[in-house]
Structure 1
Amino acid sequence: MNYELLCNKVISIVKLTGNFIRKEAMQFDVQKIEYKGLNDMVSYVDKTAEQKLVQNLEKLMPEAGFITEEKTINRAGKTYTWIIDPLDGTTNFIHGIPTYGISVALYEDRLPVIGVVYELNRGEMFYSYKGGPALMNKKEIKVSNNPDLKSSLLATGFPYYQFDEQAKYLKLLAEMMQKSHGVRRIGAAAIDLVYTACGRFDAFFEYNLQQWDFAAGCFIVQQAGGEVYDFAGGNDYFEKREILATNGKLTTEMLEAIKKYF
């Protein structure tokens, strides 16, 4: 398979869907939101964007399965699976905060081969494919070279349900705040990850994520020379849904801190 060619086709599909989201952002009515669960919002924009992505990705690979946030399709694939978040940062979108995007990953035999994350407000397309570099708008990106926490800027996310882990998380957050240049919470894990991939952040950590939040972003971090682990320092982050993504130089320091609490 020509992964580069397929990735370019995915980028075109993501751009088209992004145009739809941008248009709707200009006239979005907050009264049209729905709730999937506690503090878990969705809108017609999420659902329609997902339908557009699925429809066009199906044309590329009719045999592929799908894992999608809004469950507009439920189909297992034998070899290939698309993992889609049609609007990562829905809460930001609903409140008019300009950080949100589209995340699309392709997995082959349970391993990532394509990752695309489109941050809509800055018009930045982050992507990579098996055997290729990590890029942003056609320019190669790399993780940062910062050697330690004291010189680093970190990113994280806050839980909006399952608060049983909150006390431990707040202790970890306090330690990270004291040891680094600061901790940012943008509100879109896919964006946090690609910002780590291009060196804006030096590391990202969050628990209780969903696969569509990180499938593309984690792959792009790795392709940019970074590392991705679960909170125990293993490679089971896909199933555990807890992510530590670093530039590779901060891994030991951050795992030592995380393991105190998780």
Structure 2
Amino acid sequence: MHPMMNIAVRAARSAGNILLRYYERTDTLKVTQKGLNDFVSEVDRASEQAIIDTLRSSYPNHAILAEESGNKSGNDYQWIIDPLDGTTNYLHGFPQFSISIALKHRGVLEHGLVYDPLRDEIFTASRGEGALLNDRRIRVTNRKSLDGALLGTGFPYRDQSHLDAYLGMFRALIKDTAGIRRPGSAALDLAYVAAGRLDGFWELGLSEWDFAAGALLVKEAGGTVSDINGGGRFFETGNIIAGGLRLHSAMASVIRPHLTDHLRG
């Protein structure tokens, strides 16, 4: 494993210990509402600080983009951190949340991990080296069509301006699939696509820290990641489709008629 990935794993495990420590007593946590249906707790901040401290101890000059503390300047390396993806799940005791850490070098994703502390599953990927789950190589499924596919998604909950378009996509996709799941952690959903547990995934309005690591996992597991139009601007738009090559194409073709002018733009 690359030395930078080793440090990221150490950071994720440190943060995971904090999440597990408070998981059975979330009713004691101080929670603040950041926006519509968007919450942050003291455990989010403690988890993020543990990650930053670990990364800074080895790479003090690297830039950091983190969900709770924003963008911190540095050199050509930038860490992208979500210390608790699935905060609402966590606060309700719903056992689906994760930690996401990615590293860009001069704008190119080089390393990414998604850690599920409850199951002690750590998904890792380094550019050009494939994707792993607990050191076992993983691959996306080779499903060729929506028939029998299991998809993951996330309902728009912060910005609902595209809700009608999203519901149109949902209705169109659910007709031909084996089912659609909405577990509540986009990072973990993308890791599941990489591991073949889901055949595909789509969501609108994500932030970079939600999907940076997961996108690299899917790509390194042999899959395709695009924006909602099928192009490469998902880092700019936050709208994403992911899956195996043929399944991704099938999803994109069904989604396309439901795109508004704004989503196309």
After TM superposition, is the score higher than 0.5?
yes
Query: 2: CA distance between counterparts of 1:251 and 1:39?
Result: 29
1:200 to 191, 197, 200: 197
1:183 shift after superposition: 0.5
Return the alpha-carbon distance in structure 2 between the equivalents of residues 162 and 26 of structure 1.
30
1:215 maps to which of 212, 216, 237: 212
Match of 1:54 in 2: 52
Given residue 42 of structure 1, which amino acid in structure 2 is its aligned partner? Answer: V
1:153-181: per-residue Cα shift (whole Å, max 9, x none)? 00000111221211111011011111100
Deviation string 1:95-148 (CA, Å, 9 cap, x unpaired) is 000000100000001011010100122111000112322000110000011111
Q: Which residue of 1 aligns with 2:125?
A: 128
> What is aligned with 1:80?
77
Shift of 1:58: 0.9
Q: Give me the whole-angstrom Cα distance separating, in 1, the residues matched to 2:78 and 2:247.
A: 32
The answer to whether the 8 Å contact 1:38/1:160 transfers is yes
Q: Give CA-to-partner distance per residue, 1:216-236, whole Å, 9 cap, x none.
A: 000010000000000111111
Contact 1:30 1:94 in 2 (8 A): no
| Residue 59 of structure 2 corresponds to residue 23 of structure 1 | no
In 2, are the aligned partners of 1:99 and 1:120 still within 8 Å (CA)?
no
CA apart distance, 1:30: 5.8
Offset of residue 31 of structure 1: 6.1
- Of stretches 90-99 and 29-38 in structure 1, the one that deviates more from structure 2 is 29-38
Aligned counterpart, 1:154: 151
Partner of 2:184: 187
Query: Which amino acid is the alignment partner of residue 35 of structure 1?
Result: Q
Where in structure 2 are the equivalents of 1:90-169 lying within 5 Å?
90-169=87-166
Deviation for aligned residue 1:251: 2.1
Q: Which amino acid in 1 is paired with 2:40?
A: V
Alpha-carbon shift at residue 74 of structure 1 (Å): 3.3
* Structure 1 length-normalised TM: 0.96
Q: Write the deviation string for residues 175-228 of structure 1: whole angstroms up to 9, x where unpaired.
A: 111110011000000000000000010100001000000000000100000000
Determine the structure 1 residue equivalent to 2:263: none
Contact 1:103–1:213, Cα closer than 8 Å, also in 2: yes
9-18 or 37-46, which deviates more: 9-18
Paired with 1:119 and 1:238, the residues of 2 have a C-alpha distance of 23
Q: Is the 8 A contact 1:4 1:132 kept in 2?
A: no
| C-alpha distance in 1 between matches for 2:181 and 2:254 | 17
Any runs of at least 4 consecutive aligned residues in structure 1 with deviations exceeding 6 A, and if so which? none
**Structure 2 unaligned residues grouped into runs of 5+:** 260-265
Residue in structure 2 matched with residue 172 of structure 1 by the alignment: 169
Shift of 1:75: 1.3
Contact persistence 2:114–2:187 (CA under 8 A) = yes
Aligned length: 259
1:2-30 CA-to-partner distances (Å, cap 9, x unmatched) read x7122122112211210111011122226
The letter for the 2-side match of 1:46 is D
Greater mean alpha carbon deviation, residues 144-153 or residues 213-222: 144-153
Contact kept, 8 Å, 2:66 with 2:80, in 1: the verdict is yes
Structure 1: tracts of 5 or more residues without a match: none
Query: For the Cα contact (< 8 Å) 1:128–1:223, is it kept in 2?
Result: yes
C-alpha displacement of 1:53: 0.5
What is the percentage of aligned positions where both structures have the same residue? 39
Q: What is the distance in 2 between the residues matched to 1:51 and 1:201?
A: 31
RMSD (Å), alpha carbons: 1.2
